[in-house]
Amino acid sequence: MAVTATCSPTDARRFRSDYTSFRDRYFSGALTEADWTDWYAERLPAVLRHVTERSPFYRRHLAGVDVAAVTPAGLAELPFTTKADLRREMHAVLSGTPAEAAVYYETTGTTGPSTPCPRGPLDMFASDAHVEESWRRLFRARFGDRMPVIGLMGPCELYAFGDTFGDAARRLDACHVKIWPESPRVGFAKALRLMRDLDVEVVVCAPALCLSLAKAARFHGYDIERDLKVKLFLVLGEICTPAFAANVRSIWDADALPTLYGSQEAMAIATGCTYGNLHLSRPNYIAEVLDPATGEVLGDRGEGELCLTMLVPGIKPLIRYRTGDMVSLDRRGCPCGHPGPVIDVVGRVADQVVIGGAGFRADDIEIAVLDGVRGALGYQVVVDDGPDGRERLTVHLDLLTDIAGDSAAVARGVAARVRERFGVEADVRITDELDPITNTGSFVSWKAARMLDNRAGADNAHRAAAREAAGRQVITS
């Protein structure tokens, strides 16, 4: 059986039993700090022993480390695992062979070689539990005792999206349909017809797709209010700022809430709630916050690059994995009652943009553009060298004037806000023909989709991959 591939049947049964008990107490809010100390003290050396025994890469990477003696306090003494390591080592990172997994996935490979991300039974058991609990709480808060019809709009060919959310829907006895508009076998016209015919109330997708669907609905003759029943977008895969979510609500009269923060490599790192917060799947990870420039550990909370050590003895646990994501991690409570620390994802480290001599995150730029804007079907920011040696920003906005109001007034407001926020000259141009690359969201990177940097020496290497992906985002399909 596959469950025996990466640990013995006895060890697997023990882990499931221990994890189930700990997880249930976690979700009920019954754990004490002493419980967490005991959990980490048991799980960390166990997973270190697991990877050094079974992964050729980690056997070399952690050579000379007394894994039984490593504690969370001493975790920083271990070397990082990076994306470059995963791309170089490929199957050698695995704690087993792909054939021993329950299911095989890969990363997208948009900016480098696709890397293997198989998952074993214990991986899915521990990770999917947090997705299921998140949806159980959220749907109860939003729909009471009934379950909505769910439209899953994400790729499911070598990616975990469709399987993860499809399994969660099945366990909750909720009807779901996989309708990926960018698939040549589906397209936007068929996706919209299915949304109408099935009374889909919840759509799970990337934030950018919320806007593409709205534009496609108008193109194909749908009245969003009359023909479609969408009450909730559950978004993932890229940042979704409050300004973006408010804009989506203005178009759809539906909330846009983050439902998952994760990756093919690290699985369901955090799951969403009805208040729009993401909660760290704390039993599965030890989280560190790093200075992205130096790698210095800033602690287990605060703002910086997220670094994860996975605690489940599956087929690809990663040790001190630098995610490349900028986050703000906080132990503050949430009105939803979920005990997990709140994690705000503010963009990729690589998406930082220097404007006026200062560095800005993706969410800084999106909020400056969209704050207070309604009826926007998309935006793009173009950066040029100005004649005075300072940058000049041009914001392109696609607006539904019946929702946005006076487009000239909107343009003046955005220009003034951008000038004030970034200290450079700014223009705003209203258009109904944005570059299709904006529809790709973070499929490649937020920067590649939302920013065109024309400055001398700018690195636009990711734009070619985003340009290729844009061909699959045609709303007339």
Q: What is the pLDDT of residue 3?
A: 36
Residue, of 361 and 371, whose pLDDT is higher: 371
Check residue 350 and give its pLDDT: 85
Calculate mean pLDDT across residues 127-140.
98
2 band by pLDDT with thresholds 50, 70 and 90: very low
What average pLDDT does the chain have?
91
Work out the pLDDT band at 441, boundaries 50, 70, 90: low
Report, as an integer, the average pLDDT of 411-434: 94
**% of the chain exceeding 90 in pLDDT:** 77
Predicted confidence at residue 466, as pLDDT, reads 44
Calculate mean pLDDT across residues 203-219.
94
**Segment 297-310 mean pLDDT:** 95
pLDDT at 320 over 60: yes
Find which of 155-169, 306-320, 333-347 is predicted with most confidence, using mean pLDDT: 306-320
Tell me the percentage of the chain whose pLDDT exceeds 70.
92
How much is the pLDDT for 352? 86
**pLDDT at residue 298, rounded to an integer:** 95
332 pLDDT higher than 50: yes
Confidence of residue 185 (pLDDT cuts 50, 70, 90): confident
Answer yes or no: are the C-beta atoms of 304 and 298 closer than 8 Å. yes
Count of positions (residues) in the chain: 477
pLDDT at residue number 69? 93
Exposure class string for 433-453: b at 16+ Cβ within 10 A, else e: ebbbbbbbbbbbbbbbbbbbb
The C-alpha atoms of residue 309 and residue 323 are separated, in whole angstroms, by 11
**Domains of the chain, earliest start first:** 1-347 (3.40.50.12780), 353-470 (3.30.300.30)
pTM of the model: 0.92
In sequence order, the 6+-apart residues with CB closer than 8 A to the CB of 387 are: none
Compute the average pLDDT of residues 270-276: 97
Is the distance from CB of 112 to CB of 241 less than 8 angstroms?
no
